[in-house]
Amino acid sequence: MSEWTEIVDYFRGRSMWMLHYCTGCGAIELPPTMTSRWDMERFGITPMATPRQADILLITGYLAIKTLKRVIYTYEQMQAPKWVLGFGSCTINGGIYWDSYNVIERLDKYIPVDIYIAGCMPRPEAILDAFVKLKEMVQMGEAKGYEKYVKNYDWYKANQDKVLKRTSPVLKEIEKVTKIG
Amino acid sequence: MVIVEFLIKLSQGFGIGALALATGLLFGGIGRKIMARIQRRYGPPFTQNFMDLFKLLSKGSVSHGWAFDLGLVAGFAPMLAALMFLPIGPFTLLPSDSSLIMIVYLMMMAYLGMAMGVLASGNPNSAIGMSRALMLMVGYEVPFAAVIFSVYLFSKTGYLTQIVTQQAGGFMNWNIVKMPLGFLATEIALQGMLGEKPFDQAIAPAEIASGPMVELGGKYLGFGMIQHSVGLFLETGIVVDLFLGGAPNFWIFIAKQFVLYFIVILVDAILPRLRIHEATSFFWKLPLFLGILQAVIVIIQGGVLNV
């Protein structure tokens, strides 16, 4: 049985499809990574259009609280062996938005991150390095972030709820507001 | 004895299916490599599609109801059935004297089955993608039907094995020499059938999030990949049998198929995507004109010969 798992892990590492969630400036580093100069397809990594098809979720840059909600939806729509790459210092400690009122600071409080890519901006070499590292981790059977999410769902859910509470509409009780006005 | 024969046929059928799948996946992988080299990239290994399929089948997946499951099967089964009527090299599993019509009919059924499946997912992107795929089918089936009509008139039979036998005896007997305009129309229609650029409106990743495949994930997407690979084998195979004189053995057959696919990839590499109404109206202009012209030429030649 373990041999079979090893074979499955080997092929999972050789074929990883990526969904890139590009809210920040990090999106600009991806076209050179995909196209002729750095060519990530030689590692079997291809950009995909929807979360259902993807294995890797690449979060490039800062996440406002509203976009965090969409990222969590996206992550939960992806199918079981799935990995998250946090890209840039914004996902590690908030980066230049460290004191912003509506930007999250540490991504792995909300969804499990397998690899962080440090830098502002990380170069395409750094992205490819992360992909190769992730491939090794997958083939060794070490990248188990998705299992961690299921096991510790209460903790993640509590953290998510704590910040997502702040996204409720300010003008929810519109009648009260207009009455005062 | 009947049961033994049936079992032999059944195992041969599975064998043909597996062979078509392996060839289709290999073609896809080589196609990705060629595309990469055209774009001055190194490209994935040519076995990449096998690895992708293995990974997809090992992934978890989510269904969208029984019509979703059934639709994918209904999309794949006609393709597999059409394969049984196709002369692959010298070998045909189910010889039938109307195999040409049968294959064309079954190819269309496959798309309708797929439409049923992906529309059950309820995603608007898949609805748009599927409407585009069917619209495109209306486009390329018309010139292809004109070509089928002229081949029918020319060979005076709908039995593919016999059409292949009529082309035996060297390059000059092939239908590509006798009906060059028809071949040209078929080649353009093939581009649309395989959904390669400029006719990839149905699967437009940046535009409608890969269209019909938007809700397919894991094993379902793997099934879609199997369907696409078998379709690739079938659609290039029928053109080989109609115009390139079939083949004496399997290896020459796939070599001829690969030449057709290679042309498709080269066109795919250099052209951008058309809008859907542009694509359909293009199919109804140049390829249809070529197809009808070919039919008229065949009728005139036949009439002259009969007199």
Give the pLDDT of chain B (307 residues) as one tens digit per residue.
788 888 888 888 888 889 899 999 999 999 999 999 998 888 899 899 999 999 999 888 888 888 888 888 888 888 888 888 888 877 777 777 788 888 888 888 888 888 888 888 888 888 888 888 888 888 898 999 888 888 888 887 778 888 888 888 777 778 888 888 888 999 899 998 888 888 888 887 778 888 788 888 888 888 888 988 998 998 898 898 888 887 888 888 889 899 999 999 999 988 888 888 888 999 999 999 998 898 888 888 776 555 4
Indicate yes or no: CB of B41 within 8 angstroms of CB of A15: no
Confidence class for position A173, pLDDT limits 50, 70, 90: low
Task: List the single residue in A15, A43, A50 with the smallest CB-CB distance to B210.
Answer: A50
Q: Looking at residue B67, what is its pLDDT?
A: 84
- Gap from B126 CA to chain A (nearest CA, Å): 12
Indicate yes or no: CB of B214 within 8 angstroms of CB of A48: no
| CATH architecture of the domain with residue range A2-180 | 3-Layer(aba) Sandwich (3.40)
Do residues B25 and B54 touch, judged by C-beta distance below 8 A?
A: no
Do residues B290 and B150 touch, judged by C-beta distance below 8 A?
A: no
Contacts of B223 in chain A (CB under 8 A): none
More confident residue, B180 or A180: B180
Mutation pick from A50, A147, A149 vs chain B, by most beta carbons of B within 10 Å, is A50
Spatial distance between the Cα atoms of A179 and A114, rounded to a whole number of angstroms: 50
Do residues A65 and A102 touch, judged by C-beta distance below 8 A?
A: yes
Contacts of A49 in chain B (CB under 8 A): 205-206, 209-210, 214
Mutation pick from B25, B38, B41, B121 vs chain A, by most beta carbons of A within 10 Å, is B41
Task: List the single residue in A14, A42, A47 with the smallest CB-CB distance to B43.
Answer: A42
Task: List the single residue in A43, A48, A79 with the smallest CB-CB distance to B59.
Answer: A79
| B214: nearest CA partner in chain A | A50
Q: What percent of chain A has pLDDT over 70?
A: 92
* Mean pLDDT (whole number) for A148-177: 80
Residue A49 pLDDT more than 70? yes
Residue A142 pLDDT more than 60? yes
Q: Looking at residue A177, what is its pLDDT?
A: 57
Mind listing the pLDDT tens digit for each residue in B32-53? Answer: 999 999 988 888 998 999 999 9
Domain ranges, ordered by start, for chain A: 2-180
| A15: nearest CA partner in chain B | B52
User: For chain A, how big is the Rg over CA atoms in Å?
Assistant: 18
Contacts of A14 in chain B (CB under 8 A): 48, 51, 55
Task: List the single residue in A12, A39, A50 with the smallest CB-CB distance to B55.
Answer: A12
The average confidence (pLDDT) of chain A is: 85
Indicate yes or no: CB of B36 within 8 angstroms of CB of A39: yes
Q: Looking at residue B307, what is its pLDDT?
A: 46
Q: Does A48 touch chain B (CB under 8 A)?
A: yes
Do residues B103 and B93 touch, judged by C-beta distance below 8 A?
A: no
Indicate yes or no: CB of A41 within 8 angstroms of CB of B214: no
Q: Looking at residue A129, what is its pLDDT?
A: 92
Counted residue by residue, chain A has a size of 181
Q: Looking at residue A1, what is its pLDDT?
A: 60
| B36: nearest CA partner in chain A | A36
Task: List the single residue in A15, A39, A44 with the smallest CB-CB distance to B41.
Answer: A39
More confident residue, A175 or B280: B280
Q: Does A141 touch chain B (CB under 8 A)?
A: no
- Gap from A174 CA to chain B (nearest CA, Å): 32
The tokens for A119 are 């830098």
Counted residue by residue, chain B has a size of 307
Strand order in the sheet with A83-87: A45-47, A16-22, A56-60, A83-87, A115-117
Indicate yes or no: CB of A39 within 8 angstroms of CB of B42: yes
Mind listing the pLDDT tens digit for each residue in A51-61? Answer: 888 889 988 88
Q: Looking at residue A181, what is its pLDDT?
A: 46
Confidence class for position A179, pLDDT limits 50, 70, 90: low
Q: Looking at residue B215, what is its pLDDT?
A: 83
Indicate yes or no: CB of B214 within 8 angstroms of CB of A50: yes
Cβ-proximal residues to B52 (8 Å cutoff; 6+ apart), any chain:
A15, A17, A44, B225
Indicate yes or no: CB of A81 within 8 angstroms of CB of B48: no
Give A 55-84 residues with CB within 8 A of chain B.
55, 78-81
Longest dimension (CA), chain B: 67
Mutation pick from A5, A14, A56 vs chain B, by most beta carbons of B within 10 Å, is A14
Cβ atoms within 10 A of the Cβ of B46, count? 17
